Amino acid sequence: MLAPTPFHWKKALAALALAGLAAAQAAHAADVELLPPGLLTATTAEQTKPGQYKKAGPWRIGVSWAGMGNSWIVQLIAEMRHAAAQDKNIGEFIFTEANWQPAKQVADVEDLLTKKVDLLIIGPISQAIGAPLIEKAAKAGIPVVTLGSYGRAVPSTTEIWAGGRIFGQQGGEFLRKELGGKGNLWVFRGIAGVDEEQQRYDGLKKAIEGSNLKITNEVFGDWNYAKAKQICENLVLSGQPVDGIWFSGAEMTRACIDVFKEAGKPLVPMTGEANNGFLRVWKQAGVKTVAPIVTPGLGTAVVRASSALLEGKPLYRSYFSMPTPIARDQLDKFFRPELNDSYWMPTVLPEAKIVETYRSK
């Protein structure tokens, strides 16, 4: 859940038309499938050159990830590791995690560079932290696959991301429509200081701009069930009126739904996310909601992109995932009752791996 700079969806859509021009070139970045069709789209026509980063295997790939904190991150990393394990050309896959500490992420990347990795995958805590690290790797001639959307500000080789303002807008637009453009909103944000969190919030603010929806409570639940539940309990006990709730992540939505049910309080429209635990609660409680999709398959995509670059294949400079969110009439299509609450969708993990990892005990 880390996107470094605001993602402008209108510019992205316009860029899709430009990306089509690249299909006429002799070597096609479009020939490399990072994720299934419809799940990830190139947002620029700019490509790397064929053979630009080609290197004989086995490769040493380093990963600098910002931090843990929820089941989506756990699954994304699991998908990353699985994809790496299936690639015979990846000899070493060195994974580091910074625990959301900027100094540690800096140290992690510097250590990976001293180990002479062939490619760096980075999920930065923020643009301020990630930009100089990516620049340092690039100056050393090391290609960088970034989980985030920096744009021209940073010399990433390839950027891959989802969520951000699109996520926030999808939820905000749902609440605006459901509430007729008026009412009191509670807003549950993620981890303060993380760029992805700010982007999601900015997307919400854009969606309700010009309406009579008023944010009466704004809290940080850290994308965490336990913390969000305590905060929601306090808000419910305060007796403050609420007509709808926007959440920056579904772990917090599940927590607040549980609070409302335990308190015997009627559910108000709440935004969710494409998580099996949330879909289960949605089906059981009948809450009015929508579930934006941020696929953990991004973990697979960055590994596939890394391999493609080191094989000498051209890639587009940036990709973004923005599927249509899950609506009520699609709930049964996505919900997997036999799997546990930690499963996120859509995924590109093999079915056997999904069942092994997420089947309810």
Q: What is the mean pLDDT of the chain?
A: 91
Through-space distance between the first and last CA atoms of the chain, rounded to whole angstroms: 28
Both 218 and 201 in a single domain? yes
Both 253 and 305 in a single domain? no
Both 257 and 286 in a single domain? yes
358 in helix, strand or coil?
helix
Cα Rg for the chain, rounded, in angstroms?
A: 20
pTM of the model: 0.85
164 token code pair: 């951000």
pLDDT of residue 1 exceeding 70: no
Both 193 and 284 in a single domain? yes
Number of H helices, E strands in the chain: 12, 10
Read off the pLDDT of residues 187-203 as tens digits, 9 standing for 90 and up.
Answer: 999 989 888 899 999 99
Q: Give the CATH number for residue 255.
A: 3.40.50.2300
* Mean pLDDT for the stretch of residues 321-336: 94
- The b-or-e profile of 83-120 (16+ CB within 10 A means b, else e) is bbeebeebeebbbbbbebebebbbebbeebbeeebbbb
| C-alpha torsion 171→172→173→176, nearest 10 | 130
* Mean pLDDT for the stretch of residues 172-196: 95
Read off the pLDDT of residues 98-118 as tens digits, 9 standing for 90 and up.
Answer: 999 999 999 999 999 999 999
- State residue 152's pLDDT score: 79
- pLDDT class of 361 with cuts at 50, 70, 90: confident
Both 236 and 156 in a single domain? no
Residue of 326 and 8 predicted with greater confidence? 326
Q: What is the C-alpha separation between 210 and 333, in angstroms, rounded?
A: 35
In a domain? residue 86: yes
Domain that holds residue 285: 164-290
- pLDDT class of 26 with cuts at 50, 70, 90: very low
238 token code pair: 């305060």
How many structural domains are present in the chain?
Answer: 2
- State residue 153's pLDDT score: 79
Residue of 144 and 20 predicted with greater confidence? 144
In a domain? residue 36: no
| DSSP per position, 166-217 | HHHHHHHHHHHHHTTTEEEEEEEE-STT-HHHHHHHHHHHHHHTTSEEEEEE
83 token code pair: 């994809």
In a domain? residue 29: no
Both 155 and 168 in a single domain? no
In a domain? residue 73: yes
Q: Tell me how far CA of residue 236 lies from CA of 159, 166, 261, 267, 268, in angstroms.
A: 41, 29, 11, 11, 12
In a domain? residue 17: no
